[in-house]
Amino acid sequence: MSEHSGLAVACRRVVQIYRGEGGDVVALSGVDLTIAQGEMVALVGPSGSGKSTLIALLGGLLRPSAGRVSVGTFDLGRLSDREISRLRGTQIGIVLQGASRNLLPYASLYRNIWLAQRRAAATSGIALDDPERVLDLVGLPGKGGVLLRDLPPGARQRAALAVGVAASPGLLLVDEPTSQLDSAGRDEVIAALETINAERGTTVVVVTHDTEVGSRLGRVVTIRDGRVGAEGRNGKDFAVVAGDGTVQLPPDVLEEFPPGTLFTIDHAEDGSVTLVVGSSGTAGGGGA
């Protein structure tokens, strides 16, 4: 087995701006996020909210325009392209959306896994699993000689996961792994992620629109308008205080108290906090 354990993740005031001829687009506007070693997290939110941009930053596929992205002891913004490439071949695994984007269609699953292990195999201190063991981990025992085209959709996605974890990374980043699967295929993929996390202690971050994936992973982080808008833990939703002190209110609350509403804050001795609409606000009403 690999000597790797899960890697912690930290984003501090992360900003990402895409430059274009028609003007700049701010994809992330001050993301603060901490993920513990061995944690499983789902990133959810509407299309265009910044989820895929965030996961690309965590994988070193993009450099932040401002702020800091750390994986383990590495500040990704300070690494050279070569150092980041080495990190992706050993300690960070990435599974892109669409199984076929992660696998060579003309090569067997064994060879796909071997190719994904090459950089780690040349790095001292990394003990790699046999390809058959990697396939066992994702629920594909005995499928090493099979080609991608001979697998059903759910198995193809698990084969992509096998390539993502082939080098025994401490962080696994997965983009929309269940988007085109039926419920049975989805459950198989979720079970594979749970097994990877349980047996290897791998930190797992998944971008998804599937609420079932989020509930199974345990922690759900909502990205809205380029920021962390809310978190869900064990079925309960929480608002999140950002690093600059701001809080994104849920959409249903904003309908009643739109931007510009003035509140006073009542901080009780028992630690509870009550927001009271001020008389000069744009909306009337009582406590929120």
Q: Show me where the domains of the chain are located.
A: 9-232, 249-288
User: pTM for the whole thing?
Assistant: 0.86
Per-residue pLDDT of the chain (288 residues; tens, 9 = 90+): 345 589 999 999 999 999 888 888 999 999 999 999 999 999 998 888 899 999 999 999 999 999 999 999 999 999 999 999 999 989 999 999 999 999 999 999 999 999 999 988 888 677 789 999 999 999 999 999 999 899 999 999 999 999 999 999 999 999 999 988 999 999 999 999 999 999 999 999 999 988 888 888 989 999 988 888 887 776 677 777 777 777 777 667 777 777 778 888 777 777 777 778 875 444 444 444
Q: Which two tokens stand for residue 172?
A: 């696994």
Fold annotation for 9-232: Rossmann fold (3.40.50)
242 vs 141: CA distance, rounded Å: 44
Closest CA to 134 of 150, 158, 152, 118: 158
Query: What's the rounded Cα separation, in Å, for the pair 72 and 174?
Result: 18
- Which structure tokens are listed for 77? 């913004």
Q: Which of 119, 206, 97 is nearest to 166 (CA)?
A: 119
